[in-house]
């Protein structure tokens, strides 16, 4: 298991242990605490599966979800702690609304669903048997972000078809959508796309190159585009050139950014060699 994964899981794992021990020590609301303990134990089993992920995985969603789960477990611990003898001198006088337990049970259920989704996203085999399918509850806050996470995560898989399809999906998401473009960049999508351009098969390279070309409004992405136009395979260069041309047509302000990174000079060079015309079938169609 990767050190990075263990670092991310450390706090939630420690909190689950504390919640379980506090539930065992409950002197009041024993049935309610037992239910919270049961859900926490289920969460523990899922976290143990997550611990088997290697360091070569997409960490952004794991960090975000584990931060959220950590807050849920802190609330669960505070609630269960109030039910123990250490929580009050006379447990019978402990007043906790029944809705507090129902709400906490629901939050733990949401956490279980979130981690189940995370396991499927990471490609861990045991996650396939989980009962939770579709987008997790955490996605309710921003479904588009979760869709982007799923596509970026697929870029890390061993399946060439999945990687190629994911890159193509990112192309669809990024076209004429500034928010998706920003999210893909912010959530670390450029790195695996560039790796795909350099190491993937032909179709993967072309789809990844097309996505990178359409992400070119960002200065950091421009350096990647320039490198592809200099050293990438000819078909991949043609795809990037076509995507950059489309982007420049829709967003004229990008032209200054492209000029700063010598992209315009490289495009002119391609035109002089008729690279884009020769491979026009790879162009991005509006």
In terms of DSSP H, where are the helices of the chain? 3-24, 30-50, 60-81, 98-122, 143-154, 160-174, 178-186, 190-199, 202-214, 219-231, 234-250, 254-260, 263-272, 275-278
CATH of the domain at 248: 1.25.10.10
Same domain? For 92 and 179 the reply is no
Q: What is the C-alpha separation between 100 and 79, in angstroms, rounded?
A: 8
Give residue 257's pLDDT: 72
Give residue 265's pLDDT: 76
Final residue belonging to a domain, choices 85, 117, 140? 140
Same domain? For 207 and 223 the reply is yes
Same domain? For 82 and 197 the reply is no
Same domain? For 161 and 98 the reply is no
Q: What is the C-alpha separation between 253 and 215, in angstroms, rounded?
A: 14
Same domain? For 94 and 212 the reply is no
Give residue 217's pLDDT: 65
Give residue 64's pLDDT: 92
Final residue belonging to a domain, choices 101, 118, 140? 140
Give residue 243's pLDDT: 74
Structure tokens at 204: 């993967």
Give residue 278's pLDDT: 46
Give residue 86's pLDDT: 59
- 61 by Cβ neighbours in 10 Å (0-12 / 13-18 / 19+) ranks as buried
Give residue 274's pLDDT: 55
Give residue 125's pLDDT: 45
User: Sign of the C-alpha dihedral, residues 59, 64, 65, 71?
Assistant: positive
Same domain? For 35 and 105 the reply is yes
Give residue 56's pLDDT: 64
Same domain? For 215 and 255 the reply is yes
The pTM score is: 0.75
Q: What is the C-alpha separation between 128 and 121, in angstroms, rounded?
A: 10
Burial string for 96-124 (b: 16+ CB within 10 Å, else e) reads eeeeebeebbebbebbbbbbbbbbbbbbb
- The structural domain count of the chain equals 2
Structure tokens at 262: 């010598």
Same domain? For 13 and 115 the reply is yes
Same domain? For 117 and 159 the reply is no
Give residue 180's pLDDT: 92
User: Sign of the C-alpha dihedral, residues 59, 201, 168, 273?
Assistant: positive
Same domain? For 101 and 217 the reply is no
Final residue belonging to a domain, choices 91, 118, 140? 140
Same domain? For 20 and 68 the reply is yes
Same domain? For 84 and 157 the reply is no
Give residue 277's pLDDT: 47
List per-residue pLDDT tens for the chain, 286 residues long: 468 888 999 999 999 999 999 999 998 899 999 999 999 999 999 999 888 876 567 888 999 999 999 999 999 999 999 998 754 445 445 678 889 999 999 999 999 999 999 888 877 645 444 455 667 888 888 899 999 999 999 998 888 899 999 999 999 998 878 899 899 989 989 889 888 888 888 888 888 888 887 787 665 677 777 778 777 777 787 787 777 777 677 667 667 777 777 777 777 776 665 554 444 444 444 3
Give residue 1's pLDDT: 46
| 82 contacts 37 by C-beta, under 8 angstroms | no
| Structural domain containing residue 19 | 3-140
- 95 by Cβ neighbours in 10 Å (0-12 / 13-18 / 19+) ranks as exposed
């Amino acid at each position: 298991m990767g050190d990075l994964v263990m670092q991310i899981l450390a706090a939630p794992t420690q909190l689950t242990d504390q919640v379980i021990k506090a539930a065992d020590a409950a002197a009041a609301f024993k049935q309610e605490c037992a239910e919270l303990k049961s859900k926490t134990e289920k969460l523990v089993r899922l976290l143990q599966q997550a611990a088997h992920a290697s360091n070569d995985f997409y960490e952004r969603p794991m960090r975000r979800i584990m931060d959220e789960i950590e807050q849920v477990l802190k609330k669960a611990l505070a609630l269960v702690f109030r039910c123990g003898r250490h929580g009050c001198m006379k447990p019978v006088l402990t007043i906790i609304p029944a809705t507090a337990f129902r709400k906490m049970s629901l939050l733990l259920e949401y956490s279980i669903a979130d981690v189940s989704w995370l396991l499927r996203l990471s490609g861990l085999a045991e996650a396939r048997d989980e009962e939770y399918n579709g987008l997790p509850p955490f996605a309710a806050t921003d479904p588009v972000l979760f869709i982007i996470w799923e596509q970026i995560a697929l870029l890390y898989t061993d399946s060439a078809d999945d990687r190629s399809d994911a890159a193509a999906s990112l192309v669809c998401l990024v076209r004429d959508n500034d928010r998706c473009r920003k999210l893909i960049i912010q959530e670390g999508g450029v790195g695996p796309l560039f790796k795909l351009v350099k190491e993937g098969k032909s179709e993967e390279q072309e789809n990844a190159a097309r996505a990178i070309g359409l992400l070119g409004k960002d200065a950091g992405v421009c350096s990647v585009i320039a490198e592809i136009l200099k050293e990438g395979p000819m078909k991949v260069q043609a795809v990037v050139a076509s995507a950059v041309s489309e982007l420049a047509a829709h967003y004229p302000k990008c032209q200054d950014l492209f000029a700063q990174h010598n992209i315009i000079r490289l495009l002119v060079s391609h035109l002089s060699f008729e690279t884009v015309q020769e491979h026009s079938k790879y162009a991005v169609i509006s």
